[in-house]
Amino acid sequence: MKIAVIGCGYLGAVHAAAMASLGYETVGVDVDAAKVERLRRGEPPFYEPGLPELLKGGVDAGTLRFTTEVAEAAGADVVFIAVGTPQLAGSDAADLAYVDAAIASLLPHLTERSLIAGKSTVPVGTARRLAEMVAPTGASLAWNPEFLREGFAVQDTLAPDRLVYGVQRGDDASVATLDTVYASILARGTERLVMDYATAELVKVSANAFLATKISFINAMAELAETVGADVTQLADAIGLDARIGRRFLNAGLGFGGGCLPKDIRAFQARAEELGHGEALGFLREVDQINLRRRDRMAWLVERELAAVGGDRVGMLGLAFKPDSDDVRDSPALDVCRILERGGRRVTAYDPQARETAGRSMPTLDIVGSVEDAVRHADVIALGTEWQEFRDLDPERIGALTGARVVVDGRNALDAQRWSAAGFKVVGLGRPEVEAA
């Protein structure tokens, strides 16, 4: 079986490498020649645990190759569409230009035995429209949404918690083809759900909307907790023991970012409005606003502590939107840096993996190569991303490098009592302050 993957960004590169690791002849296609050249050498263009080994294994074995020529997808049994759907400029809607371009470029190379499987996150109704574009070629189209978590993408591709197939009624052939592609995964008992196009499209955006809502809910509780002196972490522990609620995604702090949740919930709301059901998803606007307010709150807390100690130097730990990633798209930590810099503060930042991506996104930011350089002489330390490296820091050692011993924990990830014992005042989001012991 030959597999083609159109679009070799975060989703596509991981999927292509995973397909090759399953033994399929796989070709990845992307318009970015520089990216393709790196991939040909077995070098991921972004940080993702486990991907370098998977990628190089496929390239070295000859089962995985990359090209800028879409014609190389000709003859593929399955062509996965994995291009980006960013937020449309000047709108909340999704920009489908890359999806449409990918389909249009494929049309001359499709035959009656071809199956296009969409993995990109798209507004409901897109698959039906694309199927009409493909129909004259005799090829089939299915929608096979992804559910990857950055930092766990390889695991989530090769051992997903479910596989979703969106197909036209009666299209048993496409179901059988996807079953063949995922045979080794299905053999392990992975749940497989077959449904229509619209439902498959809604599965992905609904899942993201629910996760975003859960995160923003606990952050709304954090806003109240700060006012009344409650501890939002203990609150989350208590309500999370209810099996109907669950503890996951109830970690209050700076909130969510990245290339998926923020733009996907906005696009979902925009699509609902186009369909005449904007009110049904109106709550997503407040979900978005709660999330954005946490960044302002974090910056305000840092400013307050700077004023208290009479300083203006901030040591920011973490720039990626989440740990185990170098992705700074819509990063809360990077946003806090911007707010502080606009206020005239001197920010020195460190991230284990996102130094290059953050530097491109915010060229004015002073990004250094170690925790020590970031916190040296800082008046306030701010935690923006909960990397394990930061959780494991020795506060006694860090305290010897700083000015005033104050840490604003934007992720509620540090052991406040341990840092307090080392002489630090610890300020969390939605938690009572812990004074230096």
Residues 236 and 327 grouped into a single domain: yes
With a cut of 90, say whether residue 47 has pLDDT above it. yes
* Single pTM value for the model: 0.94
Domain range for residue 404? 196-437
Characterize 55-76 residue by residue with b for buried, 16 or more Cβ atoms within 10 angstroms of its Cβ, and e for exposed.
bbebbeeebbbbbeebebbbeb
Q: Tens of pLDDT along 407-419?
A: 999 999 999 999 9
Looking up residue 324, the CATH number of its domain turns out to be: 3.40.50.720
pLDDT per position as a tens digit, 236-294:
999 999 999 999 999 999 999 999 999 999 999 999 999 999 999 999 999 999 999 99
Helices 283-309, 261-274: inter-axial angle, 10-degree rounding: 150
Side-chain half-sphere of 318: how many Cα atoms within 13 Å? 27
d(CA 254, CA 284): 18
Q: Residues 158, 215: one domain?
A: no
| 401: nearest Cα among 426, 429, 372, 428 | 372
| Residue pointed to by tokens 């090769």 | 158
Tell me the per-residue pLDDT of 381-399, one tens digit each, with 9 for 90 and over: 999 999 999 999 999 999 9
pLDDT reported for residue 404: 82
**CB under 8 Å to 74, separation ≥6 — which residues?**
109
Q: How far apart are CA 96 and CA 85, in angstroms?
A: 6
Range list of H helices, 135-231 = 153-158, 172-181, 183-186, 197-228
- Percentage of residues of the chain with pLDDT beyond 70: 100
User: What's the pLDDT at 14?
Assistant: 98
Record the tokens describing residue 8, joined without a space: 């070799």
Task: Report the pLDDT value the prediction gives residue 403, as an integer from 0 to 100.
Answer: 79
In DSSP terms, 346 is beta-bridged to: 313
Count the domains in the chain: 2
Active site residue 260: yes
- Are both 203 and 345 inside the same structural domain? yes
Last residue of a domain, one of 165, 194, 223: 194
Cβ atoms 428, 224 nearer than 8 A: no
- pLDDT tens track for 201-216: 999 999 999 999 999 9
CA distance 150 to 138: 36
Beta strands, E only, 85-214: 115-118, 140-143, 162-166, 191-195
Same domain, 17 and 75: yes
Residues 86-105, mean pLDDT to the nearest whole number: 96
Exactly one of 19, 81, 82, 260 is catalytic; name it: 260
Rounded to whole angstroms, the Cα distance separating 413 from 328 reads 19
Cα separation, 253 vs 294, in Å, equals: 7
**Of 147, 165, 194, which residue constitutes the final position of a domain?**
194
Q: How far apart are CA 262 and CA 260, in angstroms?
A: 6
Question: Which two structure tokens, joined as six digits, stand for 264?
Answer: 């996907």
Whether the per-residue pLDDT at 174 is higher than 90: the answer is: yes
Q: Which residue, of 150, 167, 194, is where some domain finishes?
A: 194
| Mean per-residue pLDDT over the chain, rounded | 97
Q: Which amino acid is at 115?
A: L
Are 277 and 410 within one domain? Answer: yes
